[in-house]
Structure 1
Amino acid sequence: MTTAVSIPKTGGSGGHTAVAARARQVVKAYGSGETRVVALDHVDVDIARGRFTAIMGPSGSGKSTLMHCLAGLDTVSSGQIFIDETEITGLKDKKLTQLRRDRVGFIFQAFNLLPTLNAIENITLPMDIAGRKPDRAWLDRVVQTVGLADRLKHRPNQLSGGQQQRVAVARALAARPEIIFGDEPTGNLDSRAGAEVLGFLKRSVDELGQTIVMVTHDPVAASYADRVLYLADGRIVDEMHSPTAELVLERMKSFDARGRVS
């Protein structure tokens, strides 16, 4: 029998909020002996379903490593990672690849669009490869949400950077994954295009019920999230709910002022 997940003191989700992904005592280390570097140091965290979570921290804090481990893109040295109720740590490569394809979406800083395909073909490509038919009503809703209805026949070289990233966002949403991970998704965009893409990501959470986890170094980008997790030295050291850019910046400055957080 499946039971609801309700585990207190795990990064602050607490209560009875449905959990889309979670880490338990996760350690990620590279090398051994004197050259051993710990990127994640016994991390416990819950990612709430239907919420927008940002992960922040200084360079080398472990934020991208945490996201890659949660997404099944990287292995852990010890501990457990779950997507919903499925433990992905220890899954065989074939099963893990299938899980990522069917249940997880990705948005990267590089748009990763195929130049020979138009926008709608790029959006449906992962489903085409998997032999799955898109849900037409859902696809139409996604296209409307990200504002691409009049650009579907355009190839990437006919689109601006912001439009290309919107295609990438739509591609991640189109298969209705349980959770979407974004690694600096607006890092290659100017502030206006970045704000558009972040607005679409927030709408996908608020209006479509999507779950998004985004690594960012930008306080403005983080302000679109419902919750910000702060990493330092491979550990979650703080979090903020309902953030603003000003509050995020102040929190980051306090970390910088203290140097390495113990």
Structure 2
Amino acid sequence: MNGTSVAARAEEVWKVYGSEEARVVALRGVSASFGRGRFTAIMGPSGSGKSTLMHCLAGLDTVTRGTVHIGDTEVTGLGDKALTRLRRDRVGFIFQQFNLLPTLTAAENIRLPMDIAGRKPDPQWWDTVIETVGLKDRLGHRPSQLSGGQQQRVACARALVSRPDVIFADEPTGNLDSKSGAEILSFLRASVREHGQTIVMVTHDPVAASYTDRVVFLADGAIVAELDDPTPETVLEAMKSGEVLV
């Protein structure tokens, strides 16, 4: 994969918390590339380092050693202001908790990061995003008037509307029932397939992983396996084969 086709990459990334007896090695020399226009899942047991890797890639956490790039920009070398700008302008986030402001309407929540940045969404792209996530008749509603699935759709639209280089999704269906979860995963899949978005998703769910193009498996802070074109069955099989056990 050449440099221009990589949306995010980690090179020999180590993340160590604490020292001496309290020392915890969360990532051990992880190297991984995430291609543009691809949907990648990061999986592994609890404590395997999957969320730590995502947070390091997204510039939400610092690395102890190694380098992280978003596109051609080395994240590990940025100061606070440049890092804030990078996260605001080039990275989208979807979390398990929807992180919506209760006093704002769905439309205002979607626009909020762009409003803060002093940018206006492209009208045509706005319409495409709203259509993709099926929120046209809910834009004037506040979060309390929306179901969990609808709130997560608002969060997805908020991440998509600024057309970031890469979206990081941390267990985005973790608080949803299976029907709402499937809808969210279908929206994310469509945004990759039809609109060229890049998504890196942490999940523990083989069904969620089956919506992606590729799965990267972590165990004890290291990548232990990868799987292309996953199905729920092949993901389960990989999870059961020794090192990847959840």
TM-score interval (norm. to shorter): over 0.9
Aligned residue for 1:223?
210
Selected match of 2:181 from 194, 199, 214: 194
Question: Which deviations, in whole Å up to 9, do the C-alpha atoms of 1:193-219 show, x marking residues without a partner?
Answer: 000000000000001110000000000
Instruction: Give the secondary structure class of the aligned counterpart of 1:189.
Output: coil
Structure 1 ranges of 4+ moved more than 4 A: none
TM-score, scaled relative to structure 1: 0.91
Contact 2:68 / 2:76 at 8 angstroms: preserved in 1? yes
Question: Which deviations, in whole Å up to 9, do the C-alpha atoms of 1:81-139 show, x marking residues without a partner?
Answer: 00000001021011100000000000000001111111111100111111111111101
AA aligned to 1:23 is A
Map 1:148-159 onto structure 2 (within 5 A): 148-159=135-146
Q: CA RMSD in A?
A: 1.5
Cα 1:259–1:57 change in 2 (3 A) is closer
Selected match of 2:196 from 196, 206, 209: 209
Asked if 1:138 corresponds to 2:134, the answer is no
Q: C-alpha distance in 1, partners of 2:34/2:105? A: 34
Which structure 2 segments of 5+ residues have no match? none
Selected match of 2:2 from 3, 6, 16: 6
Aligned residue for 1:246?
233
Shift of 1:259: 6.5
Q: How much identity, in percent, do the aligned residues show? A: 71
Selected match of 1:95 from 60, 66, 82: 82
Contact 2:105 / 2:139 at 8 angstroms: preserved in 1? yes
Shift of 1:41: 0.3
Cα 1:259–1:139 change in 2 (3 A) is closer
Instruction: Give the secondary structure class of the aligned counterpart of 1:50.
Output: coil
Aligned residue for 1:81?
68
TM-score, scaled relative to structure 2: 0.97
AA aligned to 1:252 is M
Asked if 1:166 corresponds to 2:162, the answer is no
Instruction: Give the secondary structure class of the aligned counterpart of 2:85.
Output: helix
Instruction: Give the secondary structure class of the aligned counterpart of 1:153.
Output: coil
Question: Which deviations, in whole Å up to 9, do the C-alpha atoms of 1:139-168 show, x marking residues without a partner?
Answer: 110000111111111111111110110000
Selected match of 1:25 from 12, 15, 19: 12
